[in-house]
């Protein structure tokens, strides 16, 4: 039986050594590919260090653009990566979206077994809007006209409506999508260019853009409400940088990945994850 093919799309802006560590840890051979977008705000020197950190690995770097927090740049980076991996043969069975400050807390064997058993389902946290998880139910993110740029945020109450009478869905900015779900996203966007134009002025659109497409499609029943990342929201700024104090929570977590890590704050927690959690190969129950 052939191995499940996994394409990792990674959005990064800092810490070249950590990016290199992440890719090398997830690399298993020809059945895994890596496509990386580096924020254009990242200096040329740091970008060069990132490329050097991945030297010797088959990594595709995407054309760079600026990604401002809460703006469309993060969605655009994800779309660049999704299009890139779906345009080349052999196409992946699954596409996994990560950030450069993520790290697996399950072994490659565990992740592969998880996806091998997934039967074409996609995995990401999602919920219908309005939701108690977000201020004002989250609808202001869509109904108002938003622009975010270099820390500035302009919001105008224009009471816009989603194109195509779509029902809004929110969730995590990170996801695992099947080949069929990836094709559903790209085919929808090709047929509905107004969707991208609309979302360029949605607030924090990476928490709405992909969820709304898939939960309004024939793929909805194949989207599993699954928390991909272990994150720590109780400390500020949130999500908090994970340290050795968080290790017990990483051990007990059912997530496949965790974020955020910063070797400048605590690299030993990654060393401990390598020695213990990433040696396990037990299948998903």
Q: Where are the domains of the chain?
A: 6-125+172-277
Distance CA 66, CA 75 (A): 11
What confidence score (pLDDT) does residue 273 get?
96
pLDDT at position 2 over 60: no
Q: Which of 177, 208, 154 is nearest to 83 (CA)?
A: 177
What confidence score (pLDDT) does residue 185 get?
98
The per-residue pLDDT for range 90-146, each reduced to its tens digit, is 899 999 999 999 999 999 999 999 999 999 999 999 999 999 989 999 999 999 999
Distance CA 10, CA 211 (A): 18
pLDDT at position 285 over 80: no
CATH class assigned to 6-125+172-277:
alpha beta
Distance CA 212, CA 170 (A): 7
pLDDT at position 282 over 60: no
What confidence score (pLDDT) does residue 233 get?
87
The per-residue pLDDT for range 143-195, each reduced to its tens digit, is 999 998 888 999 999 889 999 999 999 999 999 999 999 999 999 999 999 99
Please give the angle made by the CA atoms of 9, 263 and 103, to the nearest 5 degrees: 35
The per-residue pLDDT for range 14-42, each reduced to its tens digit, is 999 999 999 999 999 889 999 999 999 99
The region that residue 70 occupies, defined by phi over 0 for left and psi between -120 and 50 for alpha, beta otherwise, is: left
Distance CA 195, CA 257 (A): 30
**How distant, in Å, are the alpha carbons of 30, 55, 104, 125 from that of 218?**
31, 40, 30, 18
What confidence score (pLDDT) does residue 89 get?
84
Distance CA 22, CA 36 (A): 12
Distance CA 133, CA 37 (A): 29
The per-residue pLDDT for range 239-279, each reduced to its tens digit, is 899 999 999 999 999 999 999 999 999 999 999 999 999 88
Cross-strand pairs, 59: 34
What confidence score (pLDDT) does residue 212 get?
98
């Amino acid at each position: 039986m052939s191995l499940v093919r996994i394409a990792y799309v990674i959005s990064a802006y800092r810490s070249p050594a950590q990016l290199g560590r992440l890719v090398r840890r997830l690399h298993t051979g020809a059945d895994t590919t890596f496509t990386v977008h580096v924020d254009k705000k990242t200096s040329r020197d740091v970008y060069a260090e990132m490329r050097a950190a991945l030297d010797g690995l088959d990594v595709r770097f995407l054309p760079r653009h600026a990604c401002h927090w809460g703006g469309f740049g993060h969605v655009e980076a994800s779309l660049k990566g999704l299009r890139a991996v779906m345009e080349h043969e052999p196409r992946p069975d699954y596409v996994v979206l990560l950030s450069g400050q993520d790290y697996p807390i399950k072994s490659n064997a565990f992740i592969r077994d998880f996806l091998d058993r997934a039967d074409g389902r996609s995995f990401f946290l999602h919920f219908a809007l309005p939701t108690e998880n977000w201020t004002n139910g989250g609808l202001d993110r869509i109904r108002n006209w938003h622009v975010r740029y270099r820390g500035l945020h302009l919001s105008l109450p224009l009471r816009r409506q989603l194109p195509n009478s779509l029902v809004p869905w929110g969730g995590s900015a990170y996801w695992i999508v099947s080949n069929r779900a990836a094709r559903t996203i790209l085919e929808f966007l090709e047929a509905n260019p107004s969707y991208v134009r609309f979302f360029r002025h949605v607030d924090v659109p990476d928490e709405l853009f992909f969820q709304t497409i898939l939960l309004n499609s024939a793929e909805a029943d194949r989207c599993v409400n699954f928390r991909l990342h272990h994150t720590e929201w109780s400390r500020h700024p949130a999500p908090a940088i994970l340290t050795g104090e968080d290790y017990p929570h990483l051990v007990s977590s059912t997530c496949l990945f965790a974020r955020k890590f910063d070797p400048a704050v605590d690299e030993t927690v990654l060393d401990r994850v390598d020695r213990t959690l990433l040696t396990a190969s037990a299948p998903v129950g």
